[in-house]
Amino acid sequence: MKLNGKVLDTPAVKVTAADKVLVDGRPVGAAEPTRLWRYHKPAGLVTTHRDPAGRPTVFEHLPKSMPRVISVGRLDLASEGLLLLTNDGELARRLELPSNGWIRRYRARAFGRVEQGELDKLREGVTVDGVRYGPIEAKLERGGGANAWIAVSLSEGKNREVRRVLDALGLKVNRLIRVSYGPFQLGALEPGAVEEVPRKMLKEQLGKDALG
């Protein structure tokens, strides 16, 4: 191994981004820049790299040209819609933190009947089976039939939060679509499609310090 043209005789050396490192005569590549993708997850895929039950995964269905990525949070097997993917684990952890104040927005179709007044009470937070969920904004978009469409906005994103909270109101969610995650929108992205977020937008939304 060579550092700035000199052979190293000890591994105890600090290296900076400005140093040139050669291993077996080949330069060690710089860290990959931070990248982020929008993916329209279809229902029926699990958000994991390997599923013990052998179910199809999100990562098996990504284009072969994609680098190795991880998800920002998850969507469960039956859920669909916007899933953010990144090659930067630190960024994924940062975007998942409730403290960043980013709102996750969903559209839920649920079997049952509910009044807007019942949904308004979710703004105060709710405890379901011993789990405390923070404030949730829920608006009845369309009801009157066997199914109701409800727009749901929340900032915590705990496991199966939307389903469990609506279930506590006597509603059975039979379709759940995430339409946005913070400033990133599902938009017209087709199911199964993936699209990289332009670096300019990343800088605007995350700041230069968050990008590698």
Q: Which residues are catalytic?
A: 76
Q: Which residue has the tokens 């179709």?
A: 109
The residues, ordered by sequence, that sit 6+ positions from 77 with a Cβ below 8 Å of its Cβ are 43, 44, 45, 46, 55
Nearest-angstrom CA–CA distance, 105 and 154: 7
Provide the b/e sequence for 2-38 (b: ≥16 CB within 10 Å): eeeeeeeeeeeeeeeeeeeeeeeeeeeeeeeebbbbb
- Cβ atoms of 134 and 209 closer than 8 Å: no
Cβ-in-10-Å burial (0-12, 13-18, 19+) of 78 comes to middle
**Strand, coil or helix: what is 189?**
coil
Q: Which residue has the tokens 């279809």?
A: 42
Q: List the beta bridge partners of residue 148.
A: 110
Nearest-angstrom CA–CA distance, 207 and 210: 6
